[in-house]
Amino acid sequence: MNAKVQIGGRWVGFQCPTYFIAEIGINHNGSLAIAKAMIDGAAAAGCHAVKFQKRTPELCVPRDQWMIERETPWGRMTYIDYRRRVEFSYEDYLEIDRHCKKLGIDWFTSCWDEEAVEFMEKFDTPAYKVASACLTDHGLLHKMRSTGRPVILSTGMSTMEEINGAIEVLGQKSLLIAHTVSSYPCKLEELNLNMIMTLKNAFPNIPVGYSGHEAGLVTTYGAVALGACFVERHITLDRAMWGSDQSASLVLDDLKEIVAGIREIDLAMGDGVKRVYASEESAKAKLRRVVTASDVIFDRKLNNSVSEALMA
């Protein structure tokens, strides 16, 4: 379980600082200004990366849903027009790239189709993410792997057989796996954090992390304590904003708190090697009882006396 993968300039894996990904996704609602505000918050909180979702609407939206109308922040429009509205352009991503570089934070995307991968190859992002919904799209997995970039595989709504199938396609080199449950927000009793250990035992050569969709912070701390070497959480400027992912996202104050808490856990985890620390020496000198031969003789005599008294 000593696996490590390099993402950008950082190693992710065994005994490395927990790599924290702030998932912006589509919570920007198509606004570059909102996206930049979330990037600012993620950088200020100490996150290592922000992540977006990239789709080609004409490929990802089933044809029979294109003309279904729905209410949106921009009024009533067809679903295909809504999906187009929330996608960033090449120029938008150029500005995102410039903004992230200025702040020293990585950025990359979950690509939902092969054309989206081709689009993202115009940028030098350090990794790709496979969304849980795409785990069985082996053509897309091949496309991501062909770029030579590290791949993070989310495992929500998947069986172990399906996970094994995806890993056979991707190979284990430069691969990371995220335990995920794809419900928003996820119920505590369905988080199944022990799957982190199951995945670590099943794939000892692959770093395992956690992509959480719960409402709070504590269970993510638990995931890190169980050995998740990277964490992804959705973020938002306001949980009341329009969009399906907002309610399961962290506001920026919570993001700052959770990153700081994980840094404390990183410091506390240690290397698992038992040692006596210098800070313990004074307590050891004052409190440690050293057993001598006379102590052993006295204890035996005392025990014999007690036994004889009880038998009398």
Strand-pair category, 128-130 with 19-25: unpaired
Indicate whether 201 and 296 sit together in one domain.
no
Give residue 296's pLDDT. 56
pLDDT > 70: what percent of the chain? 93
Indicate whether 222 and 299 sit together in one domain.
no
Range of the domain at 232: 4-269
User: Which residue did the predictor score with more confidence, 312 or 115?
Assistant: 115
Which amino acid is it at 14?
A: F
d(CA 165, CA 178): 15
- Cβ pair 105, 42 in contact under 8 A: yes
Check residue 274 and report its DSSP letter. Answer: -
- What are the pLDDT digits (tens) for 129-181? 999 999 999 999 999 999 999 999 999 999 999 999 999 999 999 999 999 99
Given a cut of 60, whether residue 306 has pLDDT beyond it is: no
Give residue 299's pLDDT. 62
Give the CATH number for residue 208: 3.20.20.70
Which of 105-109, 124-128, 269-273, 304-308 is the least confident region? 304-308
pTM above 0.85, yes or no: yes
Number of domains in the chain: 2
